[in-house]
Every structure is written in C-alpha cells, then in structure tokens.
Amino acid sequence: MSFDLRIPFHRAAADSVMPLGIHAGLWVADWSPASARSAIEGSAAAGYQLIEIPVPDAADSLSPQETVRLLEDTGLDAVVSLALDAGSDINTVDPELSARGEARLRRAVEFAEAIGANYVGGVTYSAMTKYAQPATEASRENSLAVLARVAEVARQSDVRIGLEYVNRYESNLLNTAAQTAAFIDRLAARGADNVLLHIDTYHANSEELSLPAAVEDAGARLGYLHLSESHRGRIGTGTLDWAGLVNALAGSGYRGPLTVESFSPAVVSPATRDQIGAWRTLWSDPAEVAADSARFLGAQLAASTLLAPTT
C-alpha cells in the first residue's frame, strides 16, 4: 500500500489549494501559555491557515491539550518542526550522540500526535551546525537507519517526516533538492515511504541553480516549503524570484503548505539568534511582518495564471 504523501489538514488549511502557514518563531521565543496564545491568535488574525510549532522543551510550556484548544478556537491547523544539534546528531557513528538525536525525533512525533499534527519537519537528518568535514558513508547510513525507524513509528500516527535541506554552513549531509530526493529514495527502499522533501527558499537560493530547478528536482516528493527571503527578513524585499517560484510550484502540481519563515533578534531567544546567525534586526513588529507577508503571498498566488480558477 503506498502512502499518501500529501499532509492532511483538519481545519482552515484543508480548504486551501496552497495553505499559508507561518512559523511560530516569527512571533515568540518559547511556548509558554502566553506565547502560544499570542502566536496562534496572531497567525489567525494575520490571515494564515496553519502554524508551525517547534517542539516545546521547557517545563512551563503550554500542554498539548491546551494547544489543541487554542487551535480549535482559532480554526488553525498545525505542523511540528525541530532541528537536531551538535549534541543530538544522527549523522554520526557515535552511538550516544545518535541515541539522543533519535530520542528527540521520537519525542517530536509524539508531540505531533498529541496536538493532531500530521507533519514533523526540519533538520531531522543531521545536526544544524557547521561541520568541519564532509559527511561519511557511515554517518549517512546511520542517519538513514535512524530515520527509517522513526518514520515507521510516525506512520502509525499518520505522521509524515520532512527533510529540510539547508545550506553548506548548516549541514554537510543534505544541501540540495537532488541530494535530498536521492536520500528519500533510499529511505523508501527500506519501506519508509512517509518521508517528504522540504524546500526552504533561503537555503535553496544559496545552493541551487534556481528555485524552479529545485522544485523540479524535488518532484512528487515535495511536501512542504519554508518561504524565507534571501536575507531572511521580510519576504518580497530581497532578491528571491517569488513569481517564478509560485509558477513552478503551480505547474508542478504542488498543493501543499507555503510557510513563512523569518526570524528577528527582537523576537527569538539569544540561543536561536546565535544558532542561525540572526545578528541584524531586520524587523521588530511580528504582527506587521506577518500581515504584510500574507498579503504579498496572496497577491503572488492570485497572479499565477496556473492557479487561476477555471469557472
């Protein structure tokens, strides 16, 4: 039986051709009750159908049950993300390091199931860090083996695992859509057929021939996107070819989420700021950036003749 790779949604996102999502990290630095309410209500008010929630790790985080209640109150769908780090890396031959990474992945799947989300994506295949050497076949093999196990558990909860390739300074394992597609095919050969390719336009812009070329290389494996500008600030103000991307997606048959991702040191924690190198404050009002990004993307989608209504 082949698995339906398209992420199912249950509320507002279910009715959209390409639902607009937004990363909770644009709004808040943690998942305390007040932060969660601010992020979820702000996302709905700014016109989004979906919110991406990084797996909360603090003891005072809002419970999954209360998170679901807020999602239901606002009509938003949710997906879950995480990035492994140098202390929890599966792209390694160190068994302890790998076990910590696998535990984090399994916990992310449990959190997704607890909030009714059907997708766990991000830097799930390696640490998000600057590696000092190339990946080895042994570390790649370990990553494949761990992901095959995690995907099998996720499948039982109807959860898809996303592999978000990143630029060369943030992983040595997957830097392009073509590499990620080949990696996903190796997982599928082991029976892990619930693994999606996740394009982040900021990373793709650094490593690919073009955004449309990345969409083509991803093919039918493409299941999720982060829309992030060339400078990671407000989308529509950098060098990315948004019209070209939207047309490539529309023409490819992609009908999944488009999730806005932009981080400001005015919002994120110092640890996140340092991890992603968000040294400059490119904006400081999340509500304004969120609303502006939704308007910008709405206009891009409306302008795409490939998505024009036929009636």
Q: Give the footprint of Mn ion on this chain (CB under 5 A).
A: 200, 226, 261
* Least Å from the CB of residue 191 to Mn ion: 27
Catalytic residue among 164, 170, 208, 229: 164
Instruction: Provide DSSP, 132-166.
Output: SS---HHHHHHHHHHHHHHHHHHHHTT-EEEEE--
User: 261 or 292: whose CB is closer to Mn ion?
Assistant: 261
Instruction: Show the CA angle centred on residue 36, arms to residues 55 and 111, nearest 5°.
Output: 30
The distance of closest approach from Cβ of residue 166 to Mn ion in the complex, given in angstroms and rounded to an integer, is 7
Residue pair 78/120 in contact (Cβ under 8 Å)? The answer is no
Cα–Cα dist 103/24, whole Å: 23
Question: Least distance in Å: CB of 276 to Mn ion?
Answer: 9
Residue with Cβ nearer Mn ion (24 or 70): 24
Min dist. Cβ of residue 229 to Mn ion (A):
12
Among residues 189, 95, 169, 179, the alpha carbon closest in space to that of 127 is found at 169
Counting runs of H as helices and runs of E as strands, what totals does the chain give? Answer: 10, 8
Q: Which residue's CB is nearer to Mn ion, number 217 or number 261?
A: 261
> Alpha-carbon Rg of the chain, whole angstroms?
18
Q: Cα–Cα distance between 39 and 26 in angstroms, integer?
A: 8
Beta bridge partners of 119: 160
Q: What is the DSSP letter of 220?
A: G
Shortest distance, position 289 Cβ to Mn ion, whole Å: 16
Q: Which is nearer to Mn ion, 146 or 260 (CB)?
A: 260
Is residue 110 part of the annotated active site? The answer reads no
CA-wise closest residue to 210 among 241, 183, 237, 250: 241
Catalytic residue among 52, 113, 208, 261: 261
261 an active-site residue? Answer: yes
Nearer to Mn ion among residue 80 and residue 148 (C-beta): 80
What is the set of active-site residues?
164, 261
